[in-house]
Structure 1
Amino acid sequence: MANDNKDFFERVYQVAELIPQGRVTSYGAIATYLGSSRSARMVGWALNKCSSWHRFIPAHRVVNRKGLLTGKHHFPGGETMKELLENEGVQVEDNQIVNFNEVFWDPSNELL
């Protein structure tokens, strides 16, 4: 992995670690906060790799812009992401956050 990617991934992880329990954000919101608004997919790649990182990253709290659990296939088992979110009080139906607007955490507004 190139150093630029490694640095970007680390910055993604630093933001993800700040997402409060019971809240979610989107790949795009993290990318925008990091000044790379067109890099939502790269945020997803970073979170896909975080299981091999040296610390716990709450990647289950990051979903797509519509509240869909698009990253769920990167977790062991088919329901792990959903279960982790529900354990934090986030309602999920049909792989989508039920009250997405209420639980959405925007780092650009929260991390001033």
Structure 2
Amino acid sequence: MTKYDQNFFQDVYEVTRLIPEGRVTSYGAIAKYLGLKSGARMVGWAMNAAHGQKDVPAHRVVNSKGLLSGKHHFETPTRMEELLKKEGIKVKEDKIVDFKTHYWDPSTELL
């Protein structure tokens, strides 16, 4: 990992820490906010690397359709869903129910 990647990952973690409890965002929304419009995959890599950091709520970052695409990177395949449900977010068949209601966009929320 390059120094640039490490700095980018830290920027991703800082944004992720700002997602309010009971809300979710997407990999692409974080990438766009950080000025890397097509960097959703890099945000995904950062989320995968974040699982050792308890202060990064990686469970609040999903794909653009509300799918729990990163669930296999948690301790168990159901852990991501469990954490979301604990915050009042309903999940059905690995997808957030009423995704638009829970969606948090850093580009509009962090002015």
Q: Please give the range of the TM-score, normalised by the shorter of the 2 chains.
A: over 0.9
- 1:77 Cα shift? 1.1
- 1:52 Cα shift? 3.0
Q: What runs of 5+ residues in structure 1 fail to find an aligned partner?
A: none
Q: What runs of 5+ residues in structure 2 fail to find an aligned partner?
A: none
Q: Spell out the pairing of 1:1-112 with structure 2 (5 A cutoff).
A: 1-53=1-53, 55-112=54-111
- 1:106 Cα shift? 0.1
Give CA-to-partner distance per residue, 1:70-104, whole Å, 9 cap, x none.
00000011100000000000010000000100000
- 1:47 Cα shift? 0.6
Give CA-to-partner distance per residue, 1:2-59, whole Å, 9 cap, x none.
0000000000000000000000000000000000010000000001001234x52000
Q: State how far apart, in whole Å, the 2-side matches of 1:80 and 1:10 are.
A: 23
Aligned-pair identity in percent equals: 57
TM-score, normalisation: structure 1: 0.97
Q: State how far apart, in whole Å, the 2-side matches of 1:70 and 1:51 are.
A: 15
Question: Could you say what the CA RMSD is over the residues aligned between the two structures, in angstroms?
Answer: 0.8
TM-score, normalisation: structure 2: 0.98
- Deviant stretches of 4+, over 6 Å: none
Q: State how far apart, in whole Å, the 1-side matches of 2:13 and 2:72 are.
A: 19
Question: Which amino acid is 2:64 matched to?
Answer: R
Q: Number of matched residues?
A: 111
